[in-house]
Amino acid sequence: MTDQLLTFVQAHLLLFLALGIASAALIANEVHGTLQGGKRLAPKDAVRLINDRDALVVDVRPPADFKKGHLLHALNLPLAKLAERAAEIGKDKTRPVIVYCALGSSQSEAAASLRKLGHTEVYLLRGGLNGWMSASLPVTAK
């Protein structure tokens, strides 16, 4: 069995190298996001936090993307304007904030910015809006 596996790996070395690099990149992305952005919530956990603790939901995508669809009651604060519009979040720095973007790539930067502004509980939506929709949760365009 091991001989067959070794032969297979040798015959497809480039594919195994690509798999290793892709796996390392995914792991590095998760570790970086956790270190920089904080805790990532699965969509079901985000729903629980919204319902139980009245978490504020912040969409950091551009306004055009926000208009196409977003989480219900989400506040659109594009990443590029987050610092100048942060006052729109409110004065309660202890209120939980859930930050999301389309795929989950730029939300870590937004979460770090909100922490610097004094928000104590900032969470990331795992998978961003795409993760939310993959969990068959509703979005709105209103």
- Sorted by where each begins, the domain ranges of the chain are 2-32, 39-134
Q: What does the block give as tokens for 94?
A: 């202890």
Q: Please give the CATH topology (third level) of the domain spanning 39-134.
A: Oxidized Rhodanese; domain 1 (3.40.250)
Give the count of alpha carbons within 13 A of 125, CB side only. 33
Pairing of strands 122-125, 75-76: unpaired
The tens digit of pLDDT for each residue in 76-132 reads: 999 889 889 988 988 899 999 999 999 877 888 899 899 999 999 999 999 999 999
Q: Is 101 a catalytic residue?
A: yes
- pLDDT tier, 16 (very low <50, low <70, confident <90, very high otherwise): confident
Q: Which of 101, 110, 122, 125 is catalytic?
A: 101
Higher pLDDT among residues 96 and 35, named by residue? 96
Handedness of CA 124, 33, 16, 4 (dihedral sign): negative
